[in-house]
A and B are shown apart, each in its own frame.
Chain A
Amino acid sequence: MPTSVDPQRLKLSPDDEGAGVLIGFECRECKVKVFGRATFCQSCTSNNLEPMEFSASGSLFSYTIIRVPPEGWPGPVPYLLGEVELPEGPHVLAEIIESQESDLTIGRPMELVIRSVKALRSDEERAVYKWRPAISVPANGKAKQ
Chain B
Amino acid sequence: MNQALKQPRPGRDVMVAGVGLHQFGRFPNRDLASLAAASVVAALEDASVRWRDVSIAYFGHVYYHGMSVGETALSRLGLTGIPIINVENACSSGSTAFWQAYWGVASGMFDLALAFGAEKVPSGPVTVTSAESPDRFIGADHMMGGYALRMRRYMEETGAPASAFAQVAVKARRNGSLNPFAHRRQTYSIEEVLNSRLVADPLTLFQCCPTSEGAAAAIICARDALSRYNIDQSRSVRIAAACLTSGIYNGRGSDHSAFSPYRTEPAALQAYEMSGLGPEDVNLVQVHDAATIGELQQLEALQLIPYGEAWRATAEGRTALAGDIPTNTDGGLLAMGHPFGATGIRMIHETVTQLRREAGPRQVARARVGLAQCSGAGDVTTVHILTR
Contacts and interface: CB of A to CB of B under 8 A. Distances in A.
23 contacts: A5-B137, A62-B149, A62-B152, A62-B256, A64-B152, A64-B202, A65-B198, A67-B200, A67-B201, A69-B125, A70-B136, A70-B141, A71-B125, A72-B131, A79-B139, A81-B139, A83-B254, A92-B253, A93-B138, A94-B139, A106-B152, A126-B137, A129-B138
B3 to A, nearest CB: 10
A32 B145 CA distance: 27
Nearest to A33: B251
B337 to A, nearest CB: 18
A119 to B, nearest CB: 7
Contacts of B197: 67
Contact of A63 (B124, B152, B252, B253): B152
A32 B139 CA distance: 26
A70 B254 contact: no
Interface stretch (A11-19, A34-42, A132-140): A34-42
Nearest to A8: B134
A62 B153 contact: yes
Contact of A92 (B141, B145, B251, B254): B254
Contact of B256 (A35, A61, A101): A61
Interface string B303-332: 000000000000000000000000000000
A68 B149 contact: no
Interface in B138-153: 138-142, 145, 148-150, 152-153
A117 B139 CA distance: 12
Contacts, number: 113
Interface string A67-88: 1111111110001010101000
A91 B138 contact: no
A5 B150 contact: no
B49 interface: no
A6 interface: yes
Contacts of A128: 137-138
A43 interface: yes
Contact of A89 (B127, B149, B251): B251
B199 interface: yes
B183 to A, nearest CB: 19
A64 B148 contact: yes
Given A91-B254, A101-B201, A70 B139 contact: yes
